[in-house]
Amino acid sequence: MFLQLVINSLAIGSLYALTAMGATLIYGILGILDIANAGAYLIGAYIGYYIYISTGQLVLAFLGAMLSVGLVGVVLHRTVYGPILAKPRMLSIIPLVAAVGLFTMSSDLIRLLCGAGTKAYNFRFPVDVVRVGSVTIQTTWLLIFALTAVLLVVLWVVLNKTKMGLAWRATAEDPDIARACGVNTNSAMALSYVLGYGFAAAAGIMTGILYNSITPALGEVPSYKMLAIIVLGGLGNPLGTVVAGLLIGFAEVMLSTYTVLPIPKDAVAFVVLIIVLLIKPSGLFGQRNKV
């Protein structure tokens, strides 16, 4: 039972991290809060769903959704965020309002195109449970944790071990000097969007599989919980986002299992956020350590 709870916490926590990672990467390099990441999560879940029910290929569903939603991110950066940020004396609330608008649009677009009802992936692994000694673990949770972990490791490798990642980290720290070093900072920003929106799309599909239902409202809870996670992780720090995601995952699963919560489960993230910020106002990794 406890092992299953740990796996559940890890799966939920890493899913949260994956969902919030896009917002973190974008904040890290552009300094804006892109709530529209939750829209990428929603649209990713739907694109993945349609690819899956028409081809029966889950791998194809992941690849197709991540790629297409990642491209949408690049287009949004070029057509919406880029031009807004290029304006002189831009107020930081403007891109935030644009992001909220884009997110609202994405929910309504899905509602119009796909209907307001619930859809189900009805995906079943050949094996329902894995037995380790006396404990049984549901395969879905285990695989989701594994897949999320793989994606996060890929991200870590891209950011820390590749030339593109080095350019990303340099741009996040000082875009002007990075440009003077020969870095095309627009490409570094595009990388944030491809990875960020792509990861959000993957998280959307996994959530759809995990709970076996997707609705046009799928992005609502992530849209604000994501904020709690990226602030908790110290704004713009990918490692902090992973730790914060896991912390929230564990807090939700453990508290709702072992205590009678006087608040809705989705509020736990904010209680944890408030407690951490009272102790350390810059968030868990506010020093912006090496990612």
Partner 1 sequence: MLEVQDLYVSYGMMEVLHGVDISVQDGELISVIGPNGAGKTTLIKTIMGLVKPKSGKILYDGQDITHLPAHKRAGLGIGYVPEGRHVFGRLTVEENLTIGAYSSSDKEKLKKNIDMVYEIFPRLAERKGQLARTMSGGEQQMLAIGRALTLSPRLLLIDEVSMGLMPIMVNTCFKVIHDLNKRGITVLVVEQNANKALKVADRGYVLETGNIVLTDTAENLRGNDVVQKAYLGT
Question: Site map for partner 1, 172-191, x if CB under 8 A?
Answer: -xx-xxxxxxxxxx------
Does 167 participate in binding partner 1 (rule CB under 8 A)? yes
Binders of partner 1 in range 252-291 (CB under 8 A): 288-291
Does 78 participate in binding partner 1 (rule CB under 8 A)? no
Minimum distance from residue 233 beta carbon to partner 1 (Å): 16
- Residue 95 backbone class (left: φ over 0; alpha: ψ -120 to 50; beta: rest): alpha
Residue closer to partner 1 (CB basis): 74 or 166? 166
Q: Which residue has the tokens 């900072």?
A: 185
Burial (CB < 10 A; 0-12, 13-18, 19+), residue 230, is buried
Nearest to 106 by CA among 46, 40, 55: 40
Minimum distance from residue 156 beta carbon to partner 1 (Å): 15
- Looking at 48-56, 63-71, 159-167, 242-250, which segment touches partner 1 (CB under 8 A)? 159-167
Does 131 participate in binding partner 1 (rule CB under 8 A)? no
Minimum distance from residue 237 beta carbon to partner 1 (Å): 10
Nearest to 76 by CA among 132, 35, 119: 35
Figure out which of the listed residues 166, 221, 254, 255 binds partner 1, where binding follows CB under 8 A.
166
In contact, 183 and 171? CB cutoff 8 Å = yes
Minimum distance from residue 172 beta carbon to partner 1 (Å): 8
**CA dihedral sign of residues 272, 245, 27, 39:** negative
Residue closer to partner 1 (CB basis): 131 or 163? 163
Residue closer to partner 1 (CB basis): 122 or 184? 184
Minimum distance from residue 122 beta carbon to partner 1 (Å): 46
Minimum distance from residue 177 beta carbon to partner 1 (Å): 5
Binders of partner 1 in range 7-36 (CB under 8 A): none
Chain positions contacting partner 1, by CB under 8 A: 88, 163, 166-167, 169-170, 173-174, 176-185, 288-291
